[in-house]
Structure 1
Amino acid sequence: MKKIVFTLITAGLLLSCNNDDDSNLDTDLIGKWQLIEVLSDPGDGSGTFSSVESDKTITFRNGGIIVSNGSLCDMGITSDRPTFGTYSSSESTFNSTDCNNSEYDFEFEKNGNILIIKYPCIEPCQAKYKRI
């Protein structure tokens, strides 16, 4: 009887452990996001987000896969070439072999139904997406 109780307790502890790697993805991130605004700062810190009309989307999938119907590598608004990459929800970054520097980690931040991707520019440049 002691062996059964010990086995059940051990199994319960093992199953309740939290593993913080990307196999436990942020389920709020998984899904499709539509480009709605871009920010390009002119160099004096006065830049603001501007609305765009675009069909560009990005989709975060289980398993750390990110796909887009446009370039993941820049904040362009066109949706004429599919690109793929990988992401880390714990690091809030993604990269793509489609980019010139496939090792570069693009940063993103999610706040509710808004996702902002930061691109490597001298002045701030970002793209804002909304969950669809």
Structure 2
Amino acid sequence: MKKFLLYFFLFALCTACAKKNKSPLVGKWKLTHTLIDIGNGKATFEKANQNKVIEFFADGTLKSNVSYCPMDKDVSVGTSGTYNMDQTTLVIPCASTASKINFELKDVTLIIDYPTQCMEPCKEKYAKVE
């Protein structure tokens, strides 16, 4: 009986101390600022007044309350997709092809970069809300 309790205690101790790797992206993020350059290279981030939220899950999936597909007529329709922390990309399935969007994490800010959807630089900053 003592051996059983000892093994149980050691097992419980090892599993309790196991490090759980959770992506820093997991949770809800709300749009705070947008940057759209008109071609002169002088664009700066401006405060956003949209209710745009994107949520990341531990299984590598995401969902949003708006569409990230460049040709969607109704952007208020939500979207879902996947993310890859190693490649720092979001992949959103769109009507004709998947939209690949770059992102970066700077401290507690998520910056999404739309390289193929804008002719000039356009980015969005998000703050974590959950």
Alignment of 1:26-37 (within 5 A): 27-37=23-33
Name the CA distance, whole Å, in 2 between partners of 1:54 and 1:25: 32
2:81 matches 1:85: yes
Inter-partner Cα distance in structure 1 for 2:51 and 2:57: 19
Stretches of structure 2 lacking an aligned partner (at least 5 in a row): 1-19
In the other structure, the counterpart of 1:123 is: 120
- RMSD over aligned CA atoms reads 2.1
1:52 and 2:44 aligned: no
Distance 1:83 1:129 in 2: 17
Contact 2:88 2:102 in 1 (8 A): yes
TM normalised by structure 1 equals 0.71
The Cα offsets for residues 84-114 of structure 1, whole Å up to 9 and x where unpaired, read as 0011011110111136431x42100011211
TM-score by length of 2: 0.72
Q: Within 5 Å, which residues of 2 pair with 1:1-132? A: 27-73=23-69, 80-98=76-94, 100-102=96-98, 104-119=99-114, 120=116, 121-132=118-129
How many residue pairs get matched? 105
Percent identity between the aligned chains? 34
**CA 1:106–1:48 in structure 2 vs 1: closer, same or farther (change >3 Å)?**
same
Distance 1:63 1:80 in 2: 25
Ranges of 4+ aligned residues in structure 1 off by more than 2 Å: 24-27, 98-101
